[in-house]
Amino acid sequence: MSEIAGHARVVIIGGGVVGVSALYHLAKAGWTDCVLLEKNELTAGSTWHAAGNVPTFSSSWSIMNMQRYSAELYRGLAEAVDYPMNYHVTGSIRLGHSKERLREFQRVAGMGRYQGMDLEILAPDEIRSRYPFAETHDLTGALYDPYDGDIDPAQLTQALAKGARDLGAKIYRFCPATGVRRENDEWVISTVKGEIRCEYVVNAAGYYAREVGKMFGRDMPMMVMSHQYMLFDEVPEVAAWSREAGHKLPLLRDVDSSYYLRQEKNGFNLGPYERNCKAHWVTPDDPMPEDFSFQLYLDDLERLEWYINDACERVPLLGRAGLTKNINGPIPYTPDGNPLIGPMPGVPNAFEACVFTFGICQGGGAGKVLAEWVMQGETEWDMWSCDPRRFTAFCDQDYTVAKGMEVYGHEYGMHFPHHAWPAGRNKKLSPVHDRVASLGGQSSAYNGWERANWYARPGDDTSEEATQTWAREGAWFEAVRDECLAVRDAAGILDLPGFSRFRVQGPGARDWLNTLITGMAPKPGRIGLGYFADAKGRIVTEMSLMALDEDFLFLITAATAQWHDLEWLTAHLPAGSDIVVQDVTEAFSCQILTGPKSRDILSGITDADLSKSWLTHQSAQVDGIWCQLVRVSFAGELGWEIHSKIEDTPKIFDAVMKAGEPLGLRPFGMFALNSLRLEKGYRAWKGDLSTDYTVLQGGLERFVKWDKPEFLGKQALAAEKLSGVTKRFVTLTIEAGDCDAPYMSTLWHDGKVVGETTSGGWGHRIGKSIALGMLRADLAEPGTRLEVEIFGERFAATVQADEPLWDPGNERLRA
């Protein structure tokens, strides 16, 4: 007889902190018929040797949410599950060396306040009152996080395991999953102790997730880095200070130098993220061992020398302490450093909760998110930042290793809105790419596709450093203004490869789409926006629907949404239907031609009827090449999107450039497009449009066809309408300083936080700083005066009418 249960609702593969937290959260939510398989002893992967830091800091809203939740959970966990453990809430001080860093701290402090946390900015002379042993002469300030601390990772895992077991969930140790197969709509998991059938399976195998992924036929975007921390002997001064204070020193993070320094007993723990970092198990001469349970890499202190010296200068006491131990362990990375939590791409009823770089501080929140994915198929918070589907087929191993090393080496790097990280580039090039580059195009990757962000003029500073600013300053800003004004006064062309495209065809295709979108699919010959809601009425995605025939539609959506949106469509296909949904992203491309002169430019090179109205499309020839000319413009001017076979784009580009040159046509980039769309109030996916908001909150009621018999989310939206919408999407103009409002800047009214921005930037046509955002509904009246907190300073702002700031009547679009 098998030693293990033959059936479970969920099987989790991997017993590190994340897998066990997932099991605990499932059990707590009532799904107790769940099993966790661990190939060795619990914590045998990265968890046993983790330093155990539990920060809440993140410049990402969703990651901060997860970490905040973890810290809250851990504070009450010992008592909740009756398992005592070491968790020290010591607070932390993040040191800033520059004005830009202080701005980052201010922004995070603002987000933290919104999430109910009191993060505090310290002036340089305040740092020593909390940390008397630090040198502060070269600092611009610091961020104090009172919730930061450290926990014993093994005890934390055991506590979660106890909680899960007490509720009835099962954990099988020394029981590796060795294979999986799909049978009768169930998963069958093979183990050394027998087989288990289950409805859902979760890959929580940490740095072994890639191996487990292969069982499902999945090539996972992950790699493994070596990460070290050093433990130092007791320092009498630290012991004396701690004794007197009655607590440990706060943790110091010198983020510009790239390390943390923590009090460990009465000595120190120093953990750098070094630039000269090392990947492991990525070359044939360094194969991944079958089993690495409870093992470490050899010490490699040479790599850390610079960091040790820097830390000794920062805290001279450290220089007097003897190094007692070094820990060098495997730590997995995805290409952006965020974990994978959510549906396993392309695999039914399978999920991922793995590749955690900060699994101890994120484990609690990750368990909650994973449990929601499995049980409800959706999450409370929008978790796109961790969704496995954000990495598509182009993320091969070379790319993943290059990005993983870049992220590790800049673990504490600032993510400036106009800066493009250089590693892993040029994965997907438009056939027009060389032309774009020779015209000065400065590009970055969108789902792997290089697109011009802006066009440098002769003499413009195109260095990385020039874009490492939060402010509206530098050559790129001036160049973007020129591009926007050219689009306003003459015309611009933007080569836009990589739009995700799906061909939807077959009997009943239109009726089916109408059950998914809140509005109505357009009639043949027309194009329109479709909003896809979930059952709660929240915004899942927005796609352009181009109707070629009654039951033949082309769906166009954001580049990064490729796998996400395709899965949404295929998951909702009616059983047994003949509707075919086909991803044709790679076959076609698009160029935007927009501006008042665009009709004149096209008229000499196309046979199309250019008098056809806004929101129509037609099959036509441009310079003898077939294309679909679509009368829309995300820039808000007269214009066409020219969709063609991807290989034909250079000929079309050349013809348009030639015809346009005498009329003032110039190429423009993504930064200009962002500025232009803000002036029109056009929403961007996963900023303005996310599952954090409902369709009604998003101000999209004009896209809701209430009298349709049924559509996904209708019930919830109808109920929300009846009870009253509590938040409203608004456009604001801000009397801002030198920075525009980043995502998730807080809105203030009468001394209270009343909303948040979802995107912001400078509108060159109107000469104003603009933010789109969500505001308490009773304040959404046009003309209401508010304040927007931008990097810690509050600036006056005005709520605008519910119409575009630029060309409110859309006359230029319709011209």
For binding to ligand FAD (CB under 6 A), which residues are involved?
A: 13-19, 37-40, 44-47, 49-53, 176-177, 204-208, 212, 227, 229, 293, 327, 329-331, 354, 356-361
- Strands 120-122 vs 141-145: parallel, antiparallel or unpaired: antiparallel
Task: Please report how close the Cβ of residue 566 comes to ligand FAD at its closest, in angstroms.
Answer: 27
Using the minimum distance from each CB to ligand FAD, give the nearer residue, 18 or 493.
18
Task: Please report how close the Cβ of residue 139 comes to ligand FAD at its closest, in angstroms.
Answer: 23
Using the minimum distance from each CB to ligand FAD, give the nearer residue, 216 or 356.
356
Using the minimum distance from each CB to ligand FAD, give the nearer residue, 56 or 628.
56
Using the minimum distance from each CB to ligand FAD, give the nearer residue, 229 or 634.
229
Using the minimum distance from each CB to ligand FAD, give the nearer residue, 45 or 667.
45
Task: Please report how close the Cβ of residue 392 comes to ligand FAD at its closest, in angstroms.
Answer: 23
Task: Please report how close the Cβ of residue 281 comes to ligand FAD at its closest, in angstroms.
Answer: 13
Task: Please report how close the Cβ of residue 52 comes to ligand FAD at its closest, in angstroms.
Answer: 5
Count of Cβ atoms closer than 10 Å to residue 283 Cβ: 9
Cα-based torsion angle of the residue sequence 681, 456, 744, 351 in order, rounded to the nearest 10 degrees: 100
Using the minimum distance from each CB to ligand FAD, give the nearer residue, 13 or 34.
13
Identify any residues that bridge with 694 across adjacent strands, giving them in sequence order.
538
Let me know: does 140 contact 124? Beta carbons within 8 Å: yes
Please report, for residues 38, 211, 229, 388, the alpha-carbon distance to residue 208 in angstroms, rounded to integers and kept in the order given. 12, 5, 22, 16
**552 token code pair:** 């033949």
Using the minimum distance from each CB to ligand FAD, give the nearer residue, 22 or 108.
22
Let me know: does 561 contact 535? Beta carbons within 8 Å: no
Alpha-helical (H) ranges within 321-474 are 359-376, 397-409, 433-438
Cα–Cα distance, 623 to 394 (Å, whole number): 32
Using the Cα atoms of residue 400, residue 401, residue 406 and residue 411 in order, give the sign of their dihedral.
positive
Task: Please report how close the Cβ of residue 175 comes to ligand FAD at its closest, in angstroms.
Answer: 7
**427 token code pair:** 């994965």
Count of Cβ atoms closer than 10 Å to residue 244 Cβ: 8
Task: Please report how close the Cβ of residue 709 comes to ligand FAD at its closest, in angstroms.
Answer: 45
Cα-based torsion angle of the residue sequence 44, 47, 48, 50 in order, rounded to the nearest 10 degrees: 150
Let me know: does 473 contact 99? Beta carbons within 8 Å: no
Task: Please report how close the Cβ of residue 203 comes to ligand FAD at its closest, in angstroms.
Answer: 9
Task: Please report how close the Cβ of residue 56 comes to ligand FAD at its closest, in angstroms.
Answer: 11
Give Rg (Cα) of the chain.
Answer: 27
Cα of 257 vs its chain's centroid, Å: 25
Exposure b/e, 332-371, CB count within 10 A at least 16 = b = bbbbbbbbbbbbbbebebbbbbbbbbbbbbbbbbbbbbbb
Using the minimum distance from each CB to ligand FAD, give the nearer residue, 298 or 575.
298
Question: Furthest-apart CA pair in the chain: how many Å?
Answer: 85
**737 token code pair:** 């300083």
Using the minimum distance from each CB to ligand FAD, give the nearer residue, 273 or 634.
273
Task: Please report how close the Cβ of residue 260 comes to ligand FAD at its closest, in angstroms.
Answer: 8
Burial of 76 (0-12, 13-18, 19+ CB in 10 A): exposed
Let me know: does 383 contact 69? Beta carbons within 8 Å: no
**402 token code pair:** 């290059």
Cα–Cα distance, 51 to 230 (Å, whole number): 10
Task: Please report how close the Cβ of residue 158 comes to ligand FAD at its closest, in angstroms.
Answer: 13
Using the minimum distance from each CB to ligand FAD, give the nearer residue, 373 or 791.
373
Task: Please report how close the Cβ of residue 524 comes to ligand FAD at its closest, in angstroms.
Answer: 50
Let me know: does 418 contact 467? Beta carbons within 8 Å: yes
Token pair 């398992």: residue = 83
As a whole number of Å, the end-to-end CA separation of the chain is 77
Task: Please report how close the Cβ of residue 55 comes to ligand FAD at its closest, in angstroms.
Answer: 8
- Strands 441-446 vs 552-557: parallel, antiparallel or unpaired: unpaired
Task: Please report how close the Cβ of residue 273 comes to ligand FAD at its closest, in angstroms.
Answer: 10
Alpha-helical (H) ranges within 123-167 are 124-130, 153-167
Using the minimum distance from each CB to ligand FAD, give the nearer residue, 275 or 645.
275
Cα–Cα distance, 413 to 410 (Å, whole number): 5
Apex 364 CA angle, 109 and 686, nearest 5: 55
Using the minimum distance from each CB to ligand FAD, give the nearer residue, 338 or 541.
338
Task: Please report how close the Cβ of residue 271 comes to ligand FAD at its closest, in angstroms.
Answer: 6
Count of Cβ atoms closer than 10 Å to residue 186 Cβ: 16
Using the minimum distance from each CB to ligand FAD, give the nearer residue, 47 or 690.
47
Count of Cβ atoms closer than 10 Å to residue 137 Cβ: 5
Exposure b/e, 311-331, CB count within 10 A at least 16 = b = bbebbebbeebebeebbbbbb
Task: Please report how close the Cβ of residue 162 comes to ligand FAD at its closest, in angstroms.
Answer: 16
Using the minimum distance from each CB to ligand FAD, give the nearer residue, 40 or 784.
40
Let me know: does 131 contact 182? Beta carbons within 8 Å: no
Task: Please report how close the Cβ of residue 208 comes to ligand FAD at its closest, in angstroms.
Answer: 4
Using the minimum distance from each CB to ligand FAD, give the nearer residue, 361 or 632.
361
Task: Please report how close the Cβ of residue 220 comes to ligand FAD at its closest, in angstroms.
Answer: 13
Using the minimum distance from each CB to ligand FAD, give the nearer residue, 141 or 363.
363
DSSP state at residue 701: G
Using the minimum distance from each CB to ligand FAD, give the nearer residue, 49 or 390.
49
Using the minimum distance from each CB to ligand FAD, give the nearer residue, 49 or 538.
49
Cα–Cα distance, 93 to 127 (Å, whole number): 8
